[in-house]
Amino acid sequence: MPSPALRNDSYLSPASPVSVGSPSHANDASTENPNGLRIFNPNENAAAGSAIQPVRQSRWTIWSCLTASLIAGTIFATLTGCQWAAGSQNTQGAALYNQGQYTAAMEQFQKAIASDPTDSDGYYNLAATTHRLGNQRQDPNLIRQSEALYNQCLDHDPNHVDCHRGLAVLLVDSGRPDRAFTLLKNWAAQNPALAEPRIELARLYEEHGEPQTALKYLEDAVQQDANNARAWLALARLREASNDPVQALQNYQRALALGGGVLGPNGAMVSERVAALSRQINSTRDAASFNAGGTQMAAPAGFGSSRY
């Protein structure tokens, strides 16, 4: 069964610093493992007053089944004991999840919520794992529980990117795509200056066979945040799929220039696409130039012509 997320990993989740005490994860610093799970390491230390800059990893597949991300936020020396405990429990839960021990992982996430009842990431982690189990077991009760947990996550953090994505997928998979579109459109309307809702809407529209609408939302996203590598990467891939190699190349180059830790292992893929598109464009130009000049043969003069 597909894991709980929309299917295009070119829409990378963000991995930029978050200020101390910020409730929003729209620009969260996080680490993602090869399975697409964003995990938090409470043993990592940042410089005083600065955010940890983790590396994000993501598979590059078109509308692939993205495993739900496990997030636990950035830890600073000033965080309270309950937040430290929740961070450690989230990390332990992520390790268990990676081993396929979903029930044990859920227990750790439940402990994280008990340690810090305001931890939106704990609710998200528990929701995503419950969603995964619900899909595997075809258990509607678990799906309902995960939906409630996603909503609890959003109660604590209305801009939680991965939670919006997970809930949107759940709604689509349970036959309520209109609710998924409404969820993301409301999020965008409430945050007109935020790029992330538009990236998620583009993901959803592309999945539903409306690439032009997806393109519009991605263009809006880069207008809202010209430094969003995730938006540029998604835009590049969509333009390449639409047979617009010149624009795709420019967008890949912009994503690569901005990417850093956001792209993670996808940085190598983006470099490869830049090289491939450059070769394609240069080859096309060379062929056009050659045909325009080097291979044209003079037409023979006809009888009675004044040409010598």
**CA–CA distance, 114 with 82 (Å, rounded to integer):** 9
Task: Provide the residue count of the chain.
Answer: 308
pLDDT at 86: 80
Backbone phi and psi for residue 43, each to the nearest 5 degrees, phi listed first: -85, -10
pLDDT at 81: 63
pLDDT at 260: 65
pLDDT at 286: 72
From its phi and psi, is residue 24 left (phi > 0), alpha (psi between -120 and 50) or beta? beta
pLDDT at 211: 96
pLDDT at 177: 97
Give the pLDDT of the chain (308 residues) as one tens digit per residue: 333 444 444 565 432 222 222 333 333 333 333 333 333 332 332 222 222 122 222 222 222 223 334 433 433 333 456 677 788 889 999 999 989 999 999 999 999 999 999 999 999 999 999 999 999 999 999 999 999 999 999 999 999 999 999 999 999 999 999 999 999 999 999 999 999 999 999 999 999 999 999 999 999 999 999 999 999 999 999 999 999 999 999 999 999 999 766 777 788 888 899 999 999 988 888 777 666 655 443 343 443 333 32
pLDDT at 305: 34
Q: Which residues pair with 38 in a beta bridge?
A: 32
pLDDT at 285: 80
